[in-house]
């Protein structure tokens, strides 16, 4: 008891002497998950005890309250994601929490501020650059599945007041991706038909954003129950791609033969031909994911004929995230969360995400 007290007191004195702003409840040790390699076995999610690193000059210390999973995180765990991965990686790019300590030269936030991580910690605004891509949290560098995270103050955004930590944690990847696909690149207009594939995080957030933009979302799924839920949220049509393999015909019918102005293409190789056949004159297709494998071909005429455009979307910048948050706050939109898992049950959250049963986002509460 006395040894612990002395340790905590010494740590607090050191922090104050270095100019840190310290929360009285700050700890020196924490639990975090790491993806560890053991022999020839696949990567395993391990819960470990590690020190809490106090923030440097332009850093802050965050008490993480919630994280969320993306399909990418399943690929990372399976060692199938492109790029070099840090050994003993702390996974998950997306998280939200409260600032509990501030470095001596950090000025963007204060103790008690509620913040969320950005997907690419170095991409603050403007166009993407190659050097931004290697900074990806939960891949090239440690992510958010940890009780405490020490991070540069520039790599965070403030959370809208109407959102919980759990809701805010769903946004760094899926929310910014949907925003850029529909707004930054897509320039969605009121009355546009928007095609959304599946009922995962990007699709459901895309549905909500489409409605707020005055557009008319159409959604595909292999589950009639999920299609019914999507219609309750405001989808104007739902198409079961399992019972209707040529689902572009259903899309054309739902749009009166005109086709859609926007496609959020997350399926990849197997769905791309159907998505292109659904695209209307002057439309836009956002290439986002590869659930059915990356690859496939886009013929020149499939875009030239309808005078259409295609964009490759790899999330976005901090400025994009801030624009999304302003929109969410204006319209009081709240992301749809399918299921929340406790920190100790993180492996079960991975299994649920991998099952494809989700409708919206899967969250881990710390």
Encoded tokens for 222? 């292999």
Q: Are residues 212 and 110 both part of a single domain?
A: no
Q: Are residues 204 and 348 both part of a single domain?
A: no
On the question of pLDDT at 288 being above 80, the answer is: yes
Using one digit for the tens of pLDDT, what is the confidence trace for 84-112? 788 999 999 999 999 999 999 999 999 99
On the question of pLDDT at 25 being above 60, the answer is: no
Encoded tokens for 107? 């000025």
The boundaries of the domain holding residue 283 are 186-312
3-class secondary structure, 347: helix
The answer for residues whose C-beta is within 8 angstroms of residue 305's C-beta and 6 or more apart is none
Q: What is the pLDDT of residue 169?
A: 98
On the question of pLDDT at 303 being above 90, the answer is: no
Q: What is the CATH number of the domain that holds 290?
A: 3.40.50.720
Q: Which is nearest to 116 in space by CA: 72, 70, 169, 166? A: 169
Quick one: average pLDDT of 151-174?
98
Q: For 268, phi and psi rounded to 5 degrees?
A: 90, -140
Q: Is residue 153 part of a domain?
A: yes
On the question of pLDDT at 81 being above 90, the answer is: no
Q: Are residues 197 and 156 both part of a single domain?
A: no
On the question of pLDDT at 13 being above 50, the answer is: no
Return mean pLDDT, the chain: 90
**CB–CB of 262/182 below 8 Å?**
yes
Q: What is the pLDDT of residue 295?
A: 67
Q: Are residues 212 and 294 both part of a single domain?
A: yes
Q: Which is nearest to 70 in space by CA: 115, 38, 37, 117? A: 117
On the question of pLDDT at 17 being above 80, the answer is: no
**CB–CB of 333/34 below 8 Å?**
no
pLDDT-derived band of residue 293, with 50, 70 and 90 as boundaries? low
Place of tokens 């106090």: 54
3-class secondary structure, 163: coil
Name the more confident of 225 and 15. Answer: 225
Place of tokens 């948050």: 325
Q: Are residues 59 and 106 both part of a single domain?
A: yes
On the question of pLDDT at 323 being above 50, the answer is: yes
Q: Are residues 198 and 336 both part of a single domain?
A: no
What is the DSSP secondary structure assignment for residue 291, as one 8-state letter? T
Name the more confident of 16 and 144. Answer: 144
Q: What is the pLDDT of residue 138?
A: 86
CA–CA separation, 273 and 250 (whole Å): 14
Q: CA separation (Å) from 224 to 76, 91, 220, 280, 320?
A: 30, 33, 10, 25, 34
Q: Tell me which of 87-91, 264-268, 285-289, 357-361 is least confident.
A: 264-268
pTM: 0.90
On the question of pLDDT at 283 being above 70, the answer is: yes
Q: Is residue 179 part of a domain?
A: no
Number of domains in the chain: 2
Q: Are residues 253 and 157 both part of a single domain?
A: no
Q: What is the CATH number of the domain that holds 148?
A: 3.90.180.10
On the question of pLDDT at 290 being above 70, the answer is: no
Q: Tell me which of 3-7, 78-82, 94-98, 334-338 is least confident.
A: 3-7
Quick one: average pLDDT of 323-331?
98
User: Within 13 Å of residue 198, how many CA atoms lie on the same side as its CB?
Assistant: 21
pLDDT-derived band of residue 291, with 50, 70 and 90 as boundaries? low
On the question of pLDDT at 164 being above 60, the answer is: yes
Q: What percent of the chain has pLDDT over 90?
A: 77
Q: Are residues 122 and 214 both part of a single domain?
A: no
On the question of pLDDT at 294 being above 90, the answer is: no
Using one digit for the tens of pLDDT, what is the confidence trace for 113-156? 999 999 999 999 999 999 998 788 888 899 999 999 999 999 99
3-class secondary structure, 10: helix
């Amino acid at each position: 008891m006395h040894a612990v007290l002395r340790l905590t007191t010494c740590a607090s004195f050191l922090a104050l002497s270095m100019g840190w702003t310290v929360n009285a409840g700050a700890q020196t040790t924490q639990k975090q998950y790491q993806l560890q390699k053991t022999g020839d076995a696949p990567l395993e999610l391990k819960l470990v005890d590690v020190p809490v690193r106090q923030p440097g000059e332009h850093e802050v210390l965050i008490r993480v309250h919630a994280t969320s999973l993306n399909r990418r995180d399943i690929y990372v765990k399976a060692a199938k994601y492109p790029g070099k991965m840090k050994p003993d990686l702390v996974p998950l790019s997306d998280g939200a929490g409260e600032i509990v300590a501030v470095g001596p030269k950090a000025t963007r936030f204060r103790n008690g501020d509620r913040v969320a991580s950005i997907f690419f910690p170095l991409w603050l605004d403007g166009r993407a650059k190659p050097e931004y891509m290697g900074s990806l949290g939960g891949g090239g560098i440690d992510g958010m599945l940890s009780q405490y995270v020490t991070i540069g103050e520039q790599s965070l955004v403030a959370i809208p007041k109407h959102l919980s930590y759990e809701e805010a944690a769903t946004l760094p990847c899926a929310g910014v991706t949907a925003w850029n696909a529909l707004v930054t690149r897509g320039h969605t207009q009121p009355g546009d038909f928007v095609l959304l594939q599946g009922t995962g995080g990007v699709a459901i957030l895309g549905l909500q954003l489409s409605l707020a933009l005055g557009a008319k979302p159409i959604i595909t799924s292999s589950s009639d129950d999920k299609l019914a839920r999507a219609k309750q949220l405001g989808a104007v049509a739902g198409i079961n791609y399992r019972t209707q393999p040529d689902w572009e015909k259903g899309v054309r019918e739902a749009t009166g033969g005109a086709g859609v102005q926007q496609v959020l293409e997350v399926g990849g190789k197997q769905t791309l031909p159907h998505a292109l056949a659904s695209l209307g004159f002057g439309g836009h297709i956002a290439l986002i994911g590869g659930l059915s494998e990356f690859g496939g071909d886009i013929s020149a005429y499939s875009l030239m004929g309808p005078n259409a455009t295609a964009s490759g979307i790899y999330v976005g910048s901090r400025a994009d995230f801030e624009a999304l948050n302003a929109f969410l706050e204006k319209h009081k939109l709240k992301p749809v969360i399918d299921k929340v898992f406790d920190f100790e049950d993180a492996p079960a959250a991975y299994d649920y995400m991998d099952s494809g049963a989700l409708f919206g986002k899967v969250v881990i509460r710390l």
